Amino acid sequence: MDGNASCEDVDNIDWDTEDELEIQDIPVSSCSRLTPPGEESVAGTGEASSSVDPSSHSKLVHHFIGMGFSEKLVTKAIEENGQGNTESILETLLTYSALEDSPQQQQCVNSDKSSPEYDESFLDDLSDTDSWAENELAENMNSLSDKDRTLLSLVNMGYTVEEASIAMDRCGPEASIEELTDFICAAQVSKEADAYLQELPCEAKPKPNIFSGNGKHKRKFYEHELWRKKKQKGYQNTALDEDTEMIRLPIPMIGFGVPTEPCPLIHRTLPEAAIGPPYFYYENVALAPKGVWDTIKRFLYDVDPEFVDSKFFCATARKRGYIHNLPIKNRFPLLPLPPQTIHEALPLTRKWWPSWDQRTHLNCLQTCICSAKLTERIRKSLEPWDGEPPMHVQNYVLHECRKWNLVWVGRNKVAPLEADEVEMLLGFPRNHTRGGGISRTDRYKSLGNSFQVDTVAYHLSVLKDIFPGGINVLSLFSGIGGAEVALHRLGVPLKTVVSVEISEVNRNIVRSWWEQTNQKGTLIDMTDVQELNGDRLEQLIGTFGGFDLVIGGSPCNNLAGSNRHSRDGLEGKESSLFFDYFRILDLVKCIMGSKQ
């Protein structure tokens, strides 16, 4: 993205919000691309194949005809895109349908079909369909049904047609884009986790004496034990009934309690394997299909997740699940309490906010913002109306406002959030991500993939009395330091922080914050979780006396190097991050346990 974060060039846009990517640092393998029974899977290469299989071509034509498109349109779309890219074919078909249904475009087509100017203009219009925000046919897209518009939006964000269709069927017609993308991401990690477990070694090895031998032997033991546990859990996973959903999301999503709602009476007993030291805290996306949280729960010592929506802490929604072994009594929030609604957080918007926009909270904050062209189209769509615009205009405007978190800054004028406003909404200090060579683009990207500080701080608040003299933290996938900021704001001294973060931009942000807040402890930067093997962890634990807290954010967010278009499986460098979190946590527990 450009520093203006306008999303003008779709190839440079990072569409990956934290909600979309945090459990999907997983490649979309061939097994995850579902095709109708009896039909062949078509790989999306983005280029037309030089040799066309007549049988495959015929099946592809019938596939789209079965979706309700005419044979003529299907044939034309395949000719333009080639049969190797089903997403582009679908986008073209939906665009054709929108144009056919539009009286203005129909008149243009009928009046001068043979005109070279018409052909050139038509192709120019289609050239922008890769970007939802930049699509010059946005007005014509209003003629699409809500279902088709949602499908096209998901496809434009990089998901396959099959993934989008299944998510829409499972989540229902009222599901938001945020919920659908969360569902797709969670489905991907669930399938890949099963594949990963099936590839584990099946031969058992003799168990060495953990208390004898040198560090190298102990490290091998720790790693063997890790594989043994994974294999055992893999068998448990296979034995589960796929139709059984063991974990359900609560309504409202307040976990074990939030400061703004009546506190439920909850008592929980942790499994013995989960009891600290160290304490651990792991965050991931809450909205997921069946089985995903059961898999995560099994890996993390069968601790039940706590599901919380950050809208109970601030003016923006952020549905998350947290697995941790922290106490849940005597929590307290950061003070002063942050603004709870859009108007409280952004009071200058109240003057211009129309009565028909009834939003009180923003949706999950993204890693990029919309283009100036989109805000111009919204202004032009509203200007002809003195009073309330007609319902179809309201629906169009509200759809874009919800999607891009647009706020009202003038009469008929909406605008994306400024980076400073995003910092405030997420609980970071002002200018936390500003300056020092960090572009505006990087600010949005880093903030969109971060913790919501007030939410995390509420959970971590119990540590203040437990560690009055300070705490040693192992922070995995640190991002811009949401956990560190939360602990600092709580008044928990940071004695040692080992921060693992692949992004140099984010490491610089954390280092700058550390120096500006005059931290007295030690900050150790690491770039790759693969560096944290048994030997390195033993060295760190021996030096600092162990870790009190092992905290990890979303393992599949973009900050850790995930990319929807270049992933190399769960065992790849970036896509194995969830299992790296478990691997490192388990090693820390084993090493610290052996020293007691």
Closest CA to 13 of 449, 441, 448, 575: 441
Please answer whether residues 255 and 320 qualify as being in contact, where contact means their C-beta atoms are separated by less than 8 angstroms: no
Q: How many CB atoms lie within 10 A of CB 213?
A: 12
Residues 6+ apart with CB under 8 A from 206: none
Rounded Cα gap, residues 339 and 346, in angstroms: 9
C-alpha dist (Å) from residue 267 to 101, 275, 326, 347: 58, 15, 13, 40
- Counted residue by residue, the chain has a size of 596
Query: Does residue 263 carry a catalytic annotation?
Result: no
Rounded Cα gap, residues 561 and 137, in angstroms: 33
First to last CA, the chain: 50
Residues 6+ apart with CB under 8 A from 507: 478, 499, 501, 525, 527
Alpha helix ranges (H) inside 300-426: 342-345, 372-382, 391-404, 419-426
Q: What angle do CA 308, 302, 533 make, to 5 degrees?
A: 100
Closest CA to 507 of 437, 580, 577, 588: 437
User: What is the full DSSP assignment across 475-504?
Assistant: EES-TTTHHHHHHHHHT--EEEEEEE-S-H
Instruction: Report strand pairing: 306-309 vs 407-410.
Output: unpaired
Instruction: Report strand pairing: 413-415 vs 471-476.
Output: unpaired
C-alpha dist (Å) from residue 237 to 22, 52, 196: 22, 41, 12
Residue type, 519: Q
Rounded Cα gap, residues 32 and 570, in angstroms: 13
Annotated catalytic residue, options 185, 370, 401, 556:
556
Q: What angle do CA 338, 340, 343 make, to 5 degrees?
A: 110
Q: What are phi and psi of 252, to 5 degrees?
A: -70, 165
Residues labelled as active-site residues: 556
